[in-house]
C-alpha cells in the first residue's frame, strides 16, 4: 500500500511539473466570415491556404506541418517557401489544389470560383476567416489555435502583437496633437487611390500616431480626387514595393506633386506582406510605420524603459580559445537589440573589414539593430550608437570588435567544416532583398541594411597574411553562394545577378594552435573557410528572406522586378493585356512552361554578357512553345508593347508565351 501511495505521489508531482498537453475538444462548430456553419469532428491532416495572412498564422502557432499548399505570395515565415504552391492569391489553380487533396481550404471573399467549386465537391471544409479589422485578426488567431490544438501558442502570438502596439501607443502618446502628421497609404496603378475610411490600413496609420484621411468612402480601396488630395495635403505617403513605379508617374503630374509629402520627399515603401494585410507582424509594422512617420525623432521620444540587458541564449562553438558564445538581447532606446558575442579566453588579433586590423581583442561579435532605431542611428552616427549598445550589455568597447547589421540575429547561421585536425566555423547573417549589388556594374550609393556579415574562426593560429587571404576566400564563397541561388542586384535586377550587398563585412579571428600562413584557394584551410561560408550564406538568406534555391518561377520573376500587373498593353487583336497576363500566370504553373522561362533567364544572363551570341535555336524553341500553347501553328506573330524595357532574350521568350496565349484565346479556349 505504501508503495502504491508513493507511486501515486510521484505521478501527481510529475503531472504538476510536466502537465499533459491539453487535448482539443471535438467537434468544433463555428460560423465563418461568410456566415457558413463549419463543423469539424476531427483534426485536419492537410490544409491549403490561399490567404497569406492565414498561412502566416498557421506557421507562427506551430501548425506548419499541417499546411500542404500555399500561394506564391507566401514569403513569411521562411518555412512557407518549402511548401508546394497552388498559384497566386487572385487566381489559384483548382487542379493543383485537387492534387493535394486537402481536408480544409482557407479562402477569402475574392475566391468565389474556388468557394463554389469546393462547396459543390463537398470534399474539404471551405473556411473564410475575418481579417478586416484588428479585432478580426485576434479572433482568427484564437480560432486557428483552437482548430489546430495550439491555443497557448495562439495566445502568445496575440500577446506579442498587443505588446508591440501598446509600446508604440505609449511612444506616440507623447507627440502633441498639433505635431501629428497627416499620413496616407497610396494605392492604384493609373490613378491615385487609397483605403476607405473603414479599412484596417487606416486603422494602422492611426495606431502609428498618424492622421489618416477621411473621405466619407468605405471599402478596401477608393478613388481620391485632386481636390481631396490637395485638401488633405499628406505630409507622409507610403505604399508597398509594387506601388513605386506607378506612384512615381502619378506624383510627377501637376497638382499631384504639390503636396508636402512630395515636395519634402517623404514617400516610403514597405514590403507588400506588411502593408497590404493584417498579419502576425502587424504590431511590428505599426512600430516601423511610426518610426518612419516621425523620423529620427521617434526613438528620442521619452524612453519608456531604461537601456539594459534582458537575456541571452548560448551559441555552441567547440574551440579551446572560446570561453563562451551567446546572443545577448538588450533594450536600447526602447527596442530590442540582439548581439552575438564570442568571448575569447585570451586577447588576440582580428582582421575586420569594418574596423581594420586590431590587437588585444577579447570579444568579437555581430549586432542587430531593429528598424525602429535606424533613423536615430543614422543621425547620431556609428560611434555613439555603438557606445549605447556597449553600455546596455556592459561590455568594454576597447577590447571588442563588432559588426552591425539589419538582419535579425534569430536568423544566425552557424556552420562548421572539418578535415582531420582542422576545424573552421563561419557565423553568418544575411539579408539580400534591399541592397544586393553587382560590383563593377551598380552605382555606389548607400542604402538601408541588407548586409551579409561573417565571422570566421578556426582551431589554427592564422598569421596576418592568412587572415587577409581568408577575407578573399570568404568573399569568393559568398559570391558563389549568391550566384548559385540567383540572387539579383537590387538596382539592376533584370540584367545582373548580385555579388554581395553594399554593406557586407567580415571579421577573421587569429585563433590559437598550429600556425597557418596560407588560407587561399589551393589550401585546405581556404577550402574549409569557403565551404563553411558558402553553406552559411545560403542558410542565412533562407532564414532571413525565405529564399531557397528551388523556388517558384513567380518568385524569380518578381526578384527581377517583372510583375504581371501591367506587364503588357492590349494587343492588336483586341485582347486585353490583363487577360493575357492572367492566362500567363496559369500557364506558368505548368512545370514545362516554368522550365522554359527558367532556361530563358539563364540564357538571358549569358547573352547579356556576350557569352552566348547565337540564339537562333532558342528562337526555334520559342516558336515551338507558341505552337504548343496555341494548339496549332501561328501565322503572323504579334509584337507586344511591354511596360518596361526587357533584355532581348526575355522579350522574345515572353512574346512566345503571349502569342500562344492570344491565339488560344481567339479560338475560345482558356488555360485551365
Q: What is the 3-state secondary structure (H, E, C) of 517-569?
A: CCCCCCCHHHHHHHHHHHHHHHHHHHHHHCCCCCCCHHHHHHHCCCCCCCCEC
Biggest CA-to-CA distance, the chain: 96
Of 5-14, 20-29, 268-277, 491-500, the one with minimum mean pLDDT is 5-14
What was the pLDDT predicted at 575? 79
Confidence check: pLDDT of 161 > 50: yes
Confidence check: pLDDT of 22 > 50: no
Q: What is the DSSP letter of 65?
A: G
What was the pLDDT predicted at 672? 53
Per-residue pLDDT, averaged over 110-127, amounts to 87
Q: Beta partners for 314? A: 326
Q: With beta carbons less than 8 A apart as the criterion, state whether 409 and 326 touch.
A: no
Length of the chain: 672
SS (H, E, C) 150-204: CHHHHHHHHHHHHHHHHHHHHHHCCCCHHHCCEEEECECCCCCEECCCCCHHHHH
Q: With beta carbons less than 8 A apart as the criterion, state whether 658 and 638 touch.
A: yes
Per-residue pLDDT, averaged over 480-501, amounts to 92
Residue 43 CA to residue 24 CA, distance in Å, equals 9
What was the pLDDT predicted at 443? 42
pLDDT band, residue 451 (cuts 50/70/90): confident
Q: What is the DSSP letter of 323?
A: E
Per-residue pLDDT, averaged over 536-559, amounts to 94
Q: What are residue 36's phi and psi, to 5 degrees? A: -75, 140
- 226 vs 449, which has greater pLDDT? 226
Confidence check: pLDDT of 10 > 50: no
Q: What are residue 198's phi and psi, to 5 degrees? A: -95, 5
Q: How many helices (H) and strands (E) does the chain have?
A: 21, 24
Residue 654 CA to residue 244 CA, distance in Å, equals 23
Other CB atoms closer than 10 Å to residue 470's CB: what's the count? 29
- 664 vs 345, which has greater pLDDT? 345
Of 326-330, 506-510, 637-641, the one with minimum mean pLDDT is 637-641
What was the pLDDT predicted at 490? 85
Per-residue pLDDT, averaged over 175-181, amounts to 93
Across the chain, mean pLDDT equals: 89
Find the Cα–Cα–Cα–Cα dihedral 125, 280, 434, 407, rounded to 10°: -120
Alpha helices (H) along 251-310: 260-263, 272-275, 282-294
C-alpha neighbours within 13 Å on the C-beta side of residue 551: 26
Confidence check: pLDDT of 18 > 50: no
Shortest CA distance to 589 belongs to which of 89, 102, 94, 93?
93
Strands (E), 258-334: 267-270, 308-315, 322-332
Q: With beta carbons less than 8 A apart as the criterion, state whether 414 and 376 touch.
A: no
Interior angle at CA 233, CA 167 and CA 258, nearest 5:
130
Hey, what's the cell of 576? 486585353
Residue 255 CA to residue 291 CA, distance in Å, equals 28
Burial of 337 from C-beta contacts in 10 A (0-12 / 13-18 / 19+)? buried
Confidence check: pLDDT of 15 > 70: no
What was the pLDDT predicted at 244? 75
What was the pLDDT predicted at 437? 57
Confidence check: pLDDT of 482 > 90: yes
Confidence check: pLDDT of 85 > 70: yes
What was the pLDDT predicted at 190? 77
What was the pLDDT predicted at 376? 86
Residue 363 CA to residue 374 CA, distance in Å, equals 24
pLDDT band, residue 502 (cuts 50/70/90): confident
What was the pLDDT predicted at 638? 83
Non-local (6+) Cβ contacts of 380 within 8 A are none
Confidence check: pLDDT of 171 > 70: yes
Hey, what's the cell of 304? 519608456
Amino acid at each position: 500500500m505504501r508503495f502504491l501511495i508513493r507511486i501515486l505521489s510521484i505521478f501527481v508531482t510529475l503531472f504538476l511539473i510536466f502537465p499533459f498537453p491539453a487535448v482539443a475538444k471535438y467537434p468544433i462548430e463555428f460560423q465563418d466570415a461568410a456566415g457558413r456553419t463549419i463543423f469539424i469532428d476531427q483534426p485536419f491532416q492537410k490544409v491549403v491556404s490561399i490567404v497569406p495572412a492565414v498561412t502566416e498564422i498557421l506557421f507562427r502557432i506551430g501548425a506548419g506541418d499541417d499546411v500542404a499548399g500555399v500561394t506564391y505570395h507566401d514569403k513569411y515565415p521562411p518555412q512557407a517557401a518549402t511548401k508546394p504552391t497552388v498559384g497566386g492569391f487572385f487566381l489559384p489553380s483548382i487542379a493543383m489544389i485537387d492534387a493535394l487533396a486537402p481536408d480544409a481550404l482557407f479562402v477569402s471573399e475574392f475566391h468565389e470560383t474556388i468557394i463554389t467549386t469546393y462547396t459543390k465537391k463537398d470534399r474539404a471544409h471551405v473556411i473564410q476567416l475575418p481579417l478586416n479589422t484588428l479585432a478580426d485578426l485576434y479572433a482568427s488567431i484564437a480560432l486557428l489555435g483552437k482548430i489546430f490544438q495550439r491555443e497557448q501558442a495562439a495566445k502568445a502570438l496575440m500577446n506579442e502583437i498587443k505588446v508591440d502596439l501598446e509600446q508604440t501607443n505609449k511612444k506616440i502618446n507623447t507627440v502633441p496633437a498639433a505635431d501629428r502628421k497627416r499620413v496616407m497609404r497610396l494605392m492604384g496603378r493609373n490613378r491615385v487611390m487609397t483605403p476607405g475610411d473603414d479599412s484596417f490600413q487606416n486603422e494602422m496609420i492611426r495606431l502609428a500616431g498618424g492622421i489618416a484621411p477621411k473621405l466619407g468612402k468605405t471599402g478596401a480601396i477608393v478613388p481620391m480626387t485632386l481636390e481631396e488630395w490637395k485638401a488633405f495635403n499628406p505630409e507622409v505617403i507610403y505604399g508597398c514595393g509594387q506601388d513605386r513605379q506607378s506612384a512615381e508617374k502619378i506624383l510627377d503630374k501637376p497638382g499631384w506633386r504639390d503636396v508636402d509629402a512630395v515636395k519634402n520627399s517623404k514617400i516610403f515603401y514597405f514590403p507588400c506582406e506588411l502593408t497590404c494585410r493584417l498579419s502576425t507582424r502587424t504590431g511590428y509594422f505599426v512600430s516601423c510605420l511610426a518610426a518612419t512617420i516621425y523620423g529620427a525623432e521617434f526613438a528620442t521620444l521619452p524612453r519608456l524603459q531604461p537601456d539594459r540587458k534582458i537575456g541571452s541564449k548560448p551559441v555552441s562553438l567547440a574551440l579551446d580559445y572560446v570561453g563562451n558564445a551567446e546572443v545577448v538581447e538588450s533594450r536600447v532606446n526602447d527596442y530590442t537589440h540582439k548581439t552575438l558575442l564570442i568571448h575569447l579566453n585570451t586577447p588576440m588579433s582580428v582582421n575586420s573589414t569594418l574596423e581594420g586590423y586590431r590587437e588585444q581583442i577579447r570579444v568579437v561579435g555581430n549586432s542587430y539593430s531593429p528598424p525602429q532605431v535606424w533613423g536615430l542611428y543614422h543621425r547620431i552616427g556609428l560611434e555613439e550608437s555603438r557606445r549605447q549598445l556597449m553600455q546596455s550589455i556592459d561590455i568594454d568597447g576597447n577590447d571588442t570588435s563588432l559588426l552591425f547589421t539589419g538582419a535579425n540575429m534569430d536568423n544566425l547561421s552557424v556552420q562548421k567544416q572539418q578535415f582531420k585536425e582542422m576545424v573552421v566555423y563561419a557565423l553568418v547573417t544575411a539579408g539580400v532583398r534591399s541592397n544586393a549589388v553587382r560590383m563593377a556594374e551598380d552605382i555606389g550609393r548607400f542604402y538601408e541594411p541588407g548586409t551579409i556579415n561573417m565571422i570566421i574562426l578556426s582551431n589554427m593560429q592564422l598569421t596576418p597574411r592568412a587572415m587577409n587571404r581568408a577575407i578573399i576566400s570568404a568573399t569568393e564563397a559568398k559570391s558563389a553562394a549568391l550566384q548559385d541561388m540567383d540572387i539579383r542586384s537590387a538596382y539592376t535586377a533584370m540584367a545582373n545577378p548580385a555579388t554581395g550587398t553594399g554593406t557586407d563585412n567580415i571579421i577573421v579571428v587569429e585563433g590559437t594552435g598550429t600556425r597557418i600562413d596560407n588560407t587561399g584557394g589551393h589550401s585546405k584551410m581556404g577550402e574549409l573557410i569557403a565551404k563553411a561560408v558558402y553553406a552559411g550564406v545560403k542558410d542565412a538568406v533562407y532564414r532571413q528572406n525565405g529564399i531557397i534555391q528551388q523556388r517558384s518561377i513567380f518568385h524569380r520573376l518578381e526578384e527581377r522586378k517583372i510583375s504581371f500587373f501591367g506587364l503588357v498593353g492590349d494587343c492588336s487583336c483586341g485582347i486585353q493585356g490583363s487577360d493575357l497576363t492572367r492566362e500567363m500566370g496559369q500557364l506558368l504553373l505548368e512545370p514545362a512552361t516554368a522550365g522554359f522561362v527558367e532556361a530563358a533567364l539563364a540564357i538571358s544572363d549569358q547573352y547579356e554578357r556576350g557569352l552566348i551570341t547565337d540564339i537562333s535555336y532558342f528562337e526555334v524553341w520559342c516558336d515551338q512553345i507558341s505552337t504548343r500553347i496555341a494548339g496549332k501553328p501561328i501565322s503572323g506573330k504579334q509584337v507586344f508593347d511591354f511596360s518596361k524595357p526587357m533584355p532581348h532574350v526575355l522579350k522574345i521568350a515572353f512574346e512566345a508565351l503571349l502569342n500562344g496565349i492570344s491565339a488560344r484565346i481567339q479560338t475560345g479556349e482558356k488555360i485551365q
